[in-house]
Chains A and B, each alone.
Chain A
Amino acid sequence: MAYEMNFAPVLARAPELIDGAIATIELSAKSICIGLIIGLGVALIRFNRVPILKNIAAFYVETFRNTPLLVQLFLLFFGLPFLGVRLTATESAIVAVSLNLGAYSAEIFRAGLDAIPKTQIEAGLALGLSRLQTMRYVVILPALKVIYPSLTGQLTLTLLGTSITSAISATELTLAGAKIESQTFRSLETYIVLAVMYIAITFTFRAVYTLVGKWLFRRKVPKASIVAATIMDEETSQ
């Protein structure tokens, strides 16, 4: 019970915190790469209405979007060993976060594909472009631009969501904080420091997203919006 705050013991363990931050970024980056690939695949399946696969895809998307990440994590971490699959905590975390992101990004990508008027595709085909070429030159960049706020918002949510993986002791920042907290007994101070670190990481990534957007779209760039990702409603979240 501390009547005065004392950050010194926490700050003294800065190296562990930095390691934790790096671990969080690594975990997020790996999950994001896998998750986006899954999401894109699922979105294309649904957009092109591939029989049977599209129903599996819909089932996947709806179940992962309507259940909490923590439950998905527990299910994987505690359940897989019974199937004979033994993953480390961090590996389980990556699988869970990837699958979770896959479902959310599938919906975001789908909205992007739907946003391109059919007439654009028809114009591309009429000019003699193949379907694939039309997708590449006419559809992808405009679609990406439309969904950029939602997508980058979702990536931010994913990074922040990795903190939940501390529940199964995956190696990341919140776990590092929990260790420090249990040893220094400076609970409030530890979590204040963690909050500041997460905020710093988030703001840095948002700046990166903005720069990437500027390069991709070379003109006006939509801002990364967590709200856009949360409510998937382009109109009200610009």
Chain B
Amino acid sequence: MIQDFGWGSLQFLFLGLLWTAGLAFITFIAGGILGMLFALGRTLGPACIRIPIKIYIELIQATPLLIVVFLAYYGLSFLGLYLPPLAAAAISMTVYATAFLADIWRGCIEAVPKGQWEAADSLGLSGSERLRYVILPQALRIAVGPTVGFMVQIVKNTSVTALIGFVELTRAGTLLNNMTFQPFHVFMSVAAMYFIVCYPLSWWSEKLKERRHANSAAN
């Protein structure tokens, strides 16, 4: 029985959007915390920490997200844990986000001019004091633009979890399409909803980057 595409359909999609937002949020928090630890470990840790982290980042960045999602999904059941698709989705997205955020933030730490490290050293600050008072505050300011930009990637990439049955916005769209057979209406609405979330974030990210470039050019 083919349904009509109407207000109810949009509400259904909106529910999917909420799940998308939720997954993106979890991913960003979990990936953010781990990514921060990995970035610090990669920049400042001893070789026995730096190298495994580097390998982790390189491998995740060389694997399609969809494969990581499938690995999490089948890996969980392999371990005997029968959890809803949300678990596999959250785990795989976190693994993916950690790798990228760690790399981005490492870049931000390294972007702090060498002179700052030297000035802090010359004043007699210890390694951790130097980090805490001079380097990290500046690295964080540098990081805001790219990080917001990456949040856009996270939101878009949640769509991949549709393929393990997690009912986020894209999967809601597929289900709706199977009920209404109006792919244009359905997927245009889906695209519009992603756009409404992503475009402001993209715009904000560009503004932040522009502002920082203007500031560092003025100095």
Contacts and interface: CB of A to CB of B under 8 A. Distances in A.
B107 A70 contact: no
A66 B103 contact: no
B100 A68 contact: no
A192 B159 contact: no
B43 interface: no
Given A66-B202, A164-B66, A199-B62, A188 B107 contact: no
Interface centre among A75, A166, A231 (most CB of B within 10 A): A231
Interface string B195-212: 100110010000001000
Given A163-B64, A227-B107, A231-B150, A191 B71 contact: yes
B194 A66 contact: yes
Given A65-B202, A199-B63, A192 B107 contact: no
B184 A75 contact: yes
Given A70-B159, A71-B190, A235-B111, A160 B195 contact: no
Contacts of A199: 59, 62-63
Interface in A52-104: 62-63, 65-72, 74-75, 78-79, 82
A12 interface: no
Interface centre among B63, B77, B152 (most CB of A within 10 A): B63
B86 interface: no
Interface centre among A69, A156, A194, A230 (most CB of B within 10 A): A230
A227 B191 CA distance: 25
B194 A67 contact: yes
A232 B149 contact: yes
A195 B132 CA distance: 38
Interface centre among A66, A82, A174 (most CB of B within 10 A): A66
A134 interface: no
Contacts of B160: 68, 70, 164
Given A74-B183, A231-B146, A194 B195 contact: no
A62 B63 contact: no
Contacts of B150: 230-231
Nearest to B109: A236
Contacts of B62: 156, 160, 198-199, 202-203
B66 A78 contact: no
Interface string A196-233: 00110011000000000000000000000011001111
18 contacts: A66-B195, A70-B159, A70-B162, A71-B173, A71-B191, A71-B194, A72-B191, A74-B174, A75-B191, A78-B183, A187-B74, A191-B71, A199-B59, A227-B61, A231-B150, A233-B107, A233-B145, A236-B142
Interface of B: 59, 61-68, 70-71, 74-75, 77-78, 100, 103-104, 107-108, 110-111, 142-143, 145-146, 149-150, 152-153, 156-157, 159-160, 162-163, 170, 173-174, 177, 183-184, 187-188, 190-191, 194-195, 198-199, 202, 209, 213
Given A74-B183, A236-B108, 20 more contacts: A62-B202, A67-B156, A71-B159, A71-B170, A71-B190, A75-B191, A82-B183, A156-B61, A156-B62, A163-B64, A191-B67, A198-B63, A202-B62, A226-B103, A230-B150, A230-B153, A236-B107, A236-B143, A236-B146, A237-B146
